[in-house]
Amino acid sequence: MTKRNYLLLTPGPLSTSESVKRAMLQDWCTWDKDYNEGVVTVIRRKLLEIAGLDEKEYTTVLLQGSGTYGVEATLGATVRPEDKLLIVANGAYGKRMATIADYYHLNYVLVSLKETELVTPEIVVRALDEHPGITHFSVVHSETTTGLLNPIEGIAEVLRGRGITWIVDAMSSFGGIPIDIRGLGIDFLISSANKCIQGVPGFTFIIARREKLEACKGVARSLSLDIYAQWEEMERGHGKWRFTSPTHVVRAFFQALKELEEEGGIEARYIRYCRNHRALVEGMAAAGFRTLLSPEKQSPIITSFLYPDAAFSFTEFYDALKQRGFVIYPGKVSDADTFRIGTIGDVYPEDFQRLTKEIRDMREG
Ligand SMILES: *Cc1c(COP(=O)(O)O)cnc(C)c1O
């Protein structure tokens, strides 16, 4: 066993299991079928399996880079010059989609909400009414900026039957929160290796409705981010990536998927994350900390806490916790002083009981 430097309570990269890290101790040939068929193809199949999707209707693309590369690649390969994209944002990751749209000179509308406000079905209806001709709609599911969970089930009802291509950034929720991709009518769902599947950073993946992805041929404005070309190569080459793939990371992800299955799948992982979140919030309340969001807006992925008083120093708090073996996240909200603690990864309710006991001792000491 390698000694853990600290428990990473950030929502990606996150704490991974010893066995996921150990899976990286071999080198793999990117041309060999042991890797392409035995690892990559199995990953592609399992991603559909855990999402409850049929290969005839949905498919997957794996792409080098972090999650943002996946979001950029998807927007850049799906929205044509004559299309019109609607983005409703309530945090940094929603706004990042608009930044991508600017880089690509996409025709888009950004509806920007407060960071503590949900993207409700009503807001989406109003935006669609006010901006006729929307062809694509893009939204974040779990807004890691605050820890807020947008109600995509209600949004799905609004979009149904309108023929709008629906893109969901489910980076920090896929694998940790059940999502009925087909039932909701999601066309492109983006996530990455180092979030709820509990792998290490290095690639992003897109679960796509096959017919929508097939329509993306020749649309991408970037060679390396062309998800259609990447997909075509993976299909034709039985798991072959176009350019050097992060072999060790991919092998670790293969192991992480196995561990997700062993845990009991997405539903079981979701229950553990909820228990982690509950242990955290209860322990923090006992130490005098309140959450930024009300419980009905809150995801079990990451939680924002308000500074307890004006004298609170995040830097000192962070350093003291790091010395005790826990690394947390600064806040990212514009109009409140907050910090964040993630509850995803190879972490358990006992870890949050230990963490909050340390915090209580620090506050009382
Ligand atoms: C992590 C994350 C991303 C991607 O961020 P990277 O730093 O590129 O990995 C995008 N959206 C959300 C909601 C995220 O949590």
Q: Supply the pLDDT for residue 1.
A: 61
Mean of per-residue pLDDT scores for the chain: 97
Lowest-confidence region among 29-33, 83-87, 132-136, 258-262: 29-33
| Separation of CA 38 and ligand 1 centre (Å) | 28
C-beta of 10 in contact with ligand 1 (< 6 A) = no
Instruction: For residues 51 and 42, give the distance between their C-alpha atoms in angstroms, rounded to a whole number.
Output: 14
Q: For residue 65, which atom of ligand 1 is closest to its CA? A: 8
- Residue 135 CA, chain-centre distance (Å), reads 24
Q: Using one digit for the tens of pLDDT, what is the confidence trace for 248-275?
A: 999 999 999 999 999 999 999 999 999 9
Q: Using one digit for the tens of pLDDT, what is the confidence trace for 111-124?
A: 999 999 999 999 99
C-beta of 144 in contact with ligand 1 (< 6 A) = yes
Contact 245, 259 (CB under 8 A): no
| Separation of CA 360 and ligand 1 centre (Å) | 31
Q: Supply the pLDDT for residue 365.
A: 77
Alpha helix locations (H) across the chain?
A: 18-22, 33-35, 41-50, 67-78, 92-103, 121-130, 152-159, 181-184, 210-214, 227-236, 247-263, 265-286, 314-323, 349-364
Question: Ligand 1 pocket check: which of 171, 195, 329 to mutate, most ligand atoms within 8 Å of Cβ?
Answer: 171
Q: What six digits make up the tokens of 235?
A: 């299909």
C-beta of 70 in contact with ligand 1 (< 6 A) = no
Q: Supply the pLDDT for residue 2.
A: 67
| Separation of CA 116 and ligand 1 centre (Å) | 18
Question: Ligand 1 pocket check: which of 88, 93, 100 to mutate, most ligand atoms within 8 Å of Cβ?
Answer: 93
Q: Supply the pLDDT for residue 313.
A: 96
C-beta of 17 in contact with ligand 1 (< 6 A) = no
Instruction: For residues 269 and 256, give the distance between their C-alpha atoms in angstroms, rounded to a whole number.
Output: 12
| Separation of CA 227 and ligand 1 centre (Å) | 18
Q: Supply the pLDDT for residue 334.
A: 82
Q: What six digits make up the tokens of 17?
A: 């299991």
Q: Which amino acid is at 191?
A: S
C-beta of 346 in contact with ligand 1 (< 6 A) = no
Q: Supply the pLDDT for residue 12.
A: 83
Per the DSSP assignment, residues forming a β-bridge with 87 are 110, 138
CA angle, 105 then 173 then 225, to 5°: 35
Band (pLDDT 50/70/90 cuts) for residue 93 is very high
C-beta of 72 in contact with ligand 1 (< 6 A) = no
Q: For residue 172, which atom of ligand 1 is closest to its CA? A: 15
HSE-up of 93 (CA within 13 Å, CB side)?
Answer: 25
Q: Which residues lie below 8 Å from residue 241, measured CB to CB, with a gap of 6+?
A: 30, 40, 62, 64, 230, 233, 234
C-beta of 150 in contact with ligand 1 (< 6 A) = no
Band (pLDDT 50/70/90 cuts) for residue 174 is very high
Question: Ligand 1 pocket check: which of 172, 205, 304, 340 to mutate, most ligand atoms within 8 Å of Cβ?
Answer: 172
Q: For residue 68, which atom of ligand 1 is closest to its CA? A: 8
Residue nearest to atom 6 of ligand 1 (CA): 67
| Separation of CA 313 and ligand 1 centre (Å) | 27
HSE-up of 149 (CA within 13 Å, CB side)?
Answer: 20
Q: Supply the pLDDT for residue 37.
A: 97
- The four Cα atoms 112, 274, 53, 63 give a dihedral, to 10 degrees, of 60
C-beta of 68 in contact with ligand 1 (< 6 A) = yes
126 is in an annotated binding site: no
| Separation of CA 12 and ligand 1 centre (Å) | 8
Instruction: For residues 329 and 344, give the distance between their C-alpha atoms in angstroms, rounded to a whole number.
Output: 13
| Separation of CA 72 and ligand 1 centre (Å) | 11
